[in-house]
């Protein structure tokens, strides 16, 4: 390709140097081929997916949705129907809701609406990497403020780091990868004192104790991002939503968002699952029970510290190299997330919480990777 004839290529090459790729890790099929195993023999615990959702129920609902759908027609009424159902679910007006392709698209949408080259955005460290990526794509400056060693917010430092150019603050609560939910009063303080827009990512909120949505109508500068990928178990269908005041919601949806971002299949599945909310609650209860059991078992293993969790994953600190442990687990057909250094912790991994039979296998293989016998 002739670079002189394509000056746009130089711009892309310059800009892409500022961006990191999102590492999805090993895939089930890819690892199965490497190990000469069946895909069903691979244990995937690296992406915080919800394996507690009954797969037969999801497939049954999906068949109903497909039978009722006409793929030749753009989705229209489905958006309004899902907004109505979500309004009842989170106790807000449907006009306060924006629906998009997972919460990732909501992050991108907020960044595009708020940020211009040279603007600034704040977040925390460590946290979900997509915030930084979305900010940098807008050629804005991303400033992460480290959490305290106990994973709590340094509210004073965050507010002191804001400048007149700081337009946006991303806060993941419960946070990925530390798995803790921040105090309601601390988040409220940030919303009250910060002069820009505060975007609270509540992707894991159904597994936690509270939601900031209860104060959504008190603040104009607050937007809450959520997803159907975690508690509702439809990660592959990519359905997410945002909750804010009616002006911001309508402006984002009508002026900044492209039309028809979510398929009618995804929208209809969201509706079906909201009609099955008692099933969702039962799934969450089962997951929380297994979460407690898993953390307790992990903390009985020498050289392992499992932190409390308000999510569907657990952060684990190891006394052995996380690289070595992850490689050992991969050879056994188990995929976990190697998070490496987290604040003052050197070797950490992140593990999705799954039904007990899967957690039993993980515990046994982790003990082997650490050179211990199961006990």
What's 24's domain CATH number? 3.90.1150.10
Residue 374's pLDDT is what? 47
Residues 29 and 41 in one domain: yes
Residue 38, SS3? coil
Residues 72 and 120 in one domain: yes
Q: Which of 284, 293, 303, 291 is nearest to 351 (CA)?
A: 291
Residues 265 and 353 in one domain: no
Residues 236 and 171 in one domain: yes
Residue 307 lies in a domain: yes
Residue 2 lies in a domain: no
Residue 249 lies in a domain: yes
Residue 324's pLDDT is what? 96
Residues 158 and 257 in one domain: yes
- In sequence order, what are the residues at sequence separation of 6 or more whose Cβ sits closer than 8 angstroms to the Cβ of residue 79? 99, 262, 267
What are the tokens at 344?
Answer: 């003052």
- Cβ atoms 194, 221 nearer than 8 A: yes
C-alpha 114/C-alpha 219 separation (Å) is: 17
Residue 18's pLDDT is what? 75
C-alpha 369/C-alpha 323 separation (Å) is: 11
Residue 17's pLDDT is what? 76
Residue 375 lies in a domain: no
Residue 135, SS3? helix
How far, in whole angstroms, is CA 320 from its chain's centroid? 27
pTM (predicted TM-score)? 0.93
Residues 257 and 172 in one domain: yes
Residue 5's pLDDT is what? 63
Asked if residue 31 has a cis previous peptide bond (ω within 30° of 0), the answer is no
* Structural domain that includes position 100: 55-276
Residues 174 and 191 in one domain: yes
Residues 121 and 264 in one domain: yes
Distances (CA, A) of 203 to 64, 159, 174, 179: 26, 24, 8, 11
C-alpha 340/C-alpha 129 separation (Å) is: 14
Residue 375's pLDDT is what? 44
Q: Which of 97, 223, 91 is nearest to 169 (CA)?
A: 223
pLDDT, tens digit only, all 375 positions of the chain: 555 668 777 777 777 777 777 677 788 899 999 999 999 999 999 999 999 999 999 999 999 999 999 999 999 899 999 999 999 999 999 999 999 999 999 999 999 999 999 999 999 999 999 999 999 999 999 999 999 999 999 999 999 999 999 999 999 999 999 999 999 999 999 999 999 999 999 999 999 999 999 999 999 999 999 999 999 999 999 999 999 999 999 999 999 999 999 999 999 999 999 999 999 999 999 999 999 999 999 999 999 999 999 999 999 999 999 999 999 999 999 999 999 999 999 999 999 999 999 999 999 999 999 987 544
């Amino acid at each position: 390709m002739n670079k002189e004839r394509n000056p746009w290529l130089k711009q892309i090459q310059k800009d892409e140097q500022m961006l990191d790729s999102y590492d999805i890790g090993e895939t089930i099929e890819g690892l199965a081929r490497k190990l000469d195993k069946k895909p069903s023999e691979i244990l995937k615990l690296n992406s915080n997916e919800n394996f507690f959702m009954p797969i037969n129920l999801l497939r049954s609902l999906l068949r109903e949705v497909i039978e009722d759908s006409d793929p030749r027609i753009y989705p229209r009424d489905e958006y309004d129907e899902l907004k109505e159902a979500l309004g009842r679910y989170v106790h807000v007006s449907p006009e306060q809701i924006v629906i998009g392709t997972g919460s990732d698209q909501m992050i991108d949408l907020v960044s595009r609406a708020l940020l211009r080259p040279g603007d600034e955005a704040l977040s925390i460290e460590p946290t979900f990497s997509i915030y930084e990526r979305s900010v940098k794509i807008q050629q804005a400056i991303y400033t992460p403020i480290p959490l305290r060693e106990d994973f709590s917010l340094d509210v004073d430092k965050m507010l002191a780091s804001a400048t007149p150019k700081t337009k946006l603050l991303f806060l993941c609560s419960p946070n990925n990868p530390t798995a803790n939910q921040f105090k309601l009063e601390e988040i409220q303080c940030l919303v009250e004192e910060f002069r820009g827009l505060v975007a609270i990512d509540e992707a894991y909120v159904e597994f936690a104790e509270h939601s900031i949505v209860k104060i959504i109508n008190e603040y104009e500068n607050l937007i809450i991002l959520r997803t159907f990928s975690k508690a509702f178990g439809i990660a592959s269908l990519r359905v997410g939503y945002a909750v804010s005041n009616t002006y911001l919601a309508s402006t984002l949806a009508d002026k900044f968002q492209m039309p028809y971002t979510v398929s009618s299949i995804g929208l209809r599945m969201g509706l079906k699952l909201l009609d099955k909310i008692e099933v969702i609650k039962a799934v969450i209860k089962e997951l929380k029970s297994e979460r407690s059991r898993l953390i307790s078992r992990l903390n009985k293993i020498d050289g392992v510290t499992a932190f409390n969790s308000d999510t569907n994953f657990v952060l684990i600190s190891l006394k052995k190299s996380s690289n070595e442990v992850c490689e050992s687990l991969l050879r056994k057909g188990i995929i976990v997330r190697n998070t490496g250094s987290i604040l003052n912790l050197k070797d950490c991994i992140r593990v999705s919480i799954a039904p007990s039979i899967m957690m039993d296998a993980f515990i046994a293989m982790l003990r082997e990777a650490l050179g211990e016998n199961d006990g």
